[in-house]
Structure 1
Amino acid sequence: MKKWMAMMCTVLLLAGCGTTNEETAPAKDEKNNQELDKVTVVLDWTPNTNHTGLYVAQEKGYFAEEGLDVEIIMPGEAGADQLTASGKADFGVSYQESITQARVQGVPLVSIAAVIQHNTSGFASPVEKNITSPKDFAGKTYGGWGSPVEQSVLDSLMKVENANVEDVSIINMGDSDFFTAVKRDIDFAWIFYGWTGVEAELRGEEINMVYLTDYSEKLDYYTPVLATNETMIAENPDTVKAFIKAASKGYSFTIENPDEAAQILLKAAPDLDEELVQKSQEWLAPYYQDDAAQWGEQKLEVWENYASWMFENGLLDKELEADQAFTNEFLPE
């Protein structure tokens, strides 16, 4: 989530990006004596359980089966959206939030699969803070990352209970650790339960969650998603289809085999906490596909709902052409 915070602050930089793809020499699958097309996918943040399906597809050979040699790379200072939009990476892990803002500014990012079907984020606080609903935000200090979207989300939720966002003290805590910050500087923060919430369970620290989706249907958006750029879709549709087919297989495996999938992620990122990865993977497994007909599926109404909410709250300069922001055409049939 922290990387998304940074992206929301830098999405304006994307409008100046070009869309050129660099050609690279094909790799070779020695087992099948087959030349593979080299492609890159850039993560939004350091490896975590949002990304497990990609590592499974790589480890299990699903990408190679589709003729691809996929390199998973870190975003660096530029950020995944900027690298993907410019063609410096073929694919990226992104978010409906940032793609919506980017497309309104003319940036050619397109979502090609939903990693998680519903928004699992919310406002978290230690139980002793007694924050159990949006009205309880009043008189408290919220720690965020300095994006206008935060105050708008707080305002939307608080209005449901006739509370006023002006009664909340909002500070920028940047990349500060949630567990340290709530003991020292703030009362609540915005987290993904599947990682930070699970970590709280393992620490034995009880938290209350106020989920966005409990108070607004329009805030049930896709976060994260897999994305590419319009040039990639126009010039290399077979590569996009192959990538999504293998990724779908990777996430489907993860849904059915969370323990083994967690070990694959840990093999790729051994510095991660093993217990946290295992528990997070178990928690997240049912949420990847959830109630969708298949993993990765996206609905127009979800894109329209969130874009209209952003426009109504002054977060977009103009309305989004929602049907251009995403596609289901590359999902396996």
Structure 2
Amino acid sequence: MRKLHSLLIAALLLVILSGCATPATPAPTAGLTPIRLPVGFIPNIQFAPLYVAIERGYFRELGLDVSLDYSMENDNVALVGAGQIPFAVVSGEQVLLGRAQDLPVVYVMSWYRDFPVGIAALESSGIRQPADLRGRKVGIPGTYGASYIGLQALLNAAGLKETDINLQSIGFNQVEALTTGQVEAGVVYIVNEPIQLRALGYDVRVLRVADSIALVSNGLITNEKTLKENPDLVRRMISAFLRGVQDTVADPDAAYEISTRYVENLASLSETDAATQRGVLSASIDLYQTNPWGQSNPQAWENTFNLLVQMNLIPATLDWKAAFTNEYLPRPPQY
């Protein structure tokens, strides 16, 4: 199965920002269960719900001492599957890819409703829909991870194959590649590069994967052993996480202010750059799974499964229904 290993080890696709250093992990507090939660990226405004939940003590209220892991480890799915850590934040396709390698990982809370990948093109390119990508130069960070899954989904929606476009690996340089004419379209994280391009004064057309097909996006995973032996831990983790999500949706300004204590340099940005980051947060919130809070969409799981089978990345015999559960979500009223 081609590219399976690369796709498995790809970190959760999140926005690239400069000037963000990793703070020291605090020591566990006596009486609390320490949880190291890998998020697969550097400190970033898009983790605002987790910063809110930590800052407001939601995890501690439920007996958890949560610290975020920014180590950029590429094997978080494998670590959870092996029981070395109980939780991680990953993209949904990683769960199916992991289970295809007999890793007993389970997706227990949907953070994002919409798959956050798309293809951006300047309006001057004439690209208006996925079918217009035929014969065009399309840049992508690399042929792995959520960006590659999203590209394949958009091509399929347009009846195109990868060979119908001129695909170029450009790293995370989509803004420069688009504005200098290196490529005509770029696979992007839709709450990042399009906002940067508009802040620079460019008119941008974004072809969202979510407008063509529902795929599973970012969420919280655990493993079958933890679900069986410590279901209360899972419920507490989800409950506190969701409180952070809900607070962020209810008051983005407060969530942004809290994030300045966790994301280096966020508090000292220029007015223009701060507006861009507030735009990133607002656009991220628009993608959250809010109704019902945290609930997975079975159709999105089936769509993701079918796409990965079509890409020859997982076997058609894989039980995709075992990859997720909604059974550990809080029941209304939640708090």
Corresponding residue to 2:139 among 131, 143, 146:
143
Q: Counterparts of 1:99-178 in structure 2 under 5 Å?
A: 99-144=95-140, 145-147=142-144, 149=149, 152-159=152-159, 165-174=162-171, 176-178=172-174
Match status 1:228 vs 2:225:
no
1:305/1:146 Cα in 2 relative to 1: closer, same or farther (>3 Å)?
A: closer
Residue in 1 that maps onto 2:274: 274
Gaps of 5+ in 1: 1-5, 14-24, 29-34
Q: Secondary structure at the match of 2:215?
A: coil
**Letter of the structure 2 residue corresponding to residue 99 of structure 1:** V
- Greater shift after overlay, 104-113 or 41-50? 41-50
* In structure 1, distance between residues paired with 2:28 and 2:230: 15
Q: Give the conservation status (yes or no) of the 8 Å contact 1:104–1:318.
A: no
- Is 1:197 paired with 2:194? yes
Q: How does 1:227-306 map to 2 (within 5 A)?
A: 227-272=221-266, 274-290=274-290, 292-293=291-292, 295-306=293-304
Structure 1 CA distance for aligned equivalents of residues 301 and 29 of structure 2: 37
- Is the CA contact (8 Å cut-off) linking 2:45 and 2:281 kept in structure 1? yes
Q: Is the 8 A contact 2:9 2:74 kept in 1?
A: no
Q: Give the CA deviation at 1:164.
A: 5.6
Pairwise CA distance, 1:165: 4.3
Distance 1:266 1:315 in 2: 40
Equivalent in the alignment of 2:20: none
What's the CA shift string for 1:63-84, capped at 9, x where partnerless? 0000110011114243432333
What do the CA deviations read for 1:158-211 (whole angstroms, capped 9, x no partner)?
31xxx564331112223x321112225322122222222222232222211112
- How far is the alpha carbon of 1:283 from its aligned partner? 2.6
Q: Does structure 2 retain, via aligned residues, the 8 Å contact 1:297–1:331?
A: yes
- Aligned residue for 1:268, secondary structure, equals coil
Counterpart of 1:211 in structure 2 is 208
SS of the equivalent of 1:318 reads: coil
SS in 2 for 1:51: helix
Residue 14 of structure 2 corresponds to none
Name the amino acid aligned to 1:91: F
3-state SS, counterpart of residue 106 of structure 1: coil
> Which AA in structure 1 matches 2:289?
Q
From the superposition, tell whether residues 93 and 164 of structure 1 become closer, same or farther in structure 2 (CA, over 3 Å).
Answer: closer
Q: Which of 308, 311, 329 lines up with 1:310 in the alignment?
A: 308
Deviations 1:267-291 (A, max 9, x none): 101234533321222233243134x
Which SS does the other structure have where 1:287 is aligned?
coil
- Structure 2, unmatched stretches of 5+, are 11-26, 267-272
Q: What is the distance in 2 between the residues matched to 1:44 and 1:63?
A: 20
Which residue of structure 1 aligns with residue 23 of structure 2?
none
Which residue of 9, 14, 29 maps to 1:27?
29
Name the CA distance, whole Å, in 1 between partners of 2:316 and 2:326.
24
Decide which moves more: 240-249 or 201-210. Answer: 201-210
Displacement, 1:324?
1.2
Bigger mean CA offset, 311-320 vs 112-121: 311-320
Q: TM-score, normalised by structure 2?
A: 0.82
Alpha-carbon spacing, 1:332–1:150, altered in 2? closer, same or farther (3 Å): closer
The secondary structure found in structure 2 opposite 1:279 is: helix
Higher share in helix: 1
TM-score normalised by structure 1 residue count: 0.82
For residue 58 of structure 1, report the CA deviation from its aligned partner: 0.3
> Conserved in 1, the CA contact under 8 Å of 2:90 and 2:218?
yes
| Counterpart position of 2:327 | 329
Q: Distance in 1 between matches of 2:71 and 2:106?
A: 18
Matched with 1:32 is: none
2:18 match:
none
Displacement of 1:136: 1.4
Cα RMSD of the aligned pairs, angstroms, is: 2.5
Residue 93 of structure 1: SS of its match in structure 2? Answer: strand
The count of corresponding residues between Structure 1 and Structure 2 is: 302
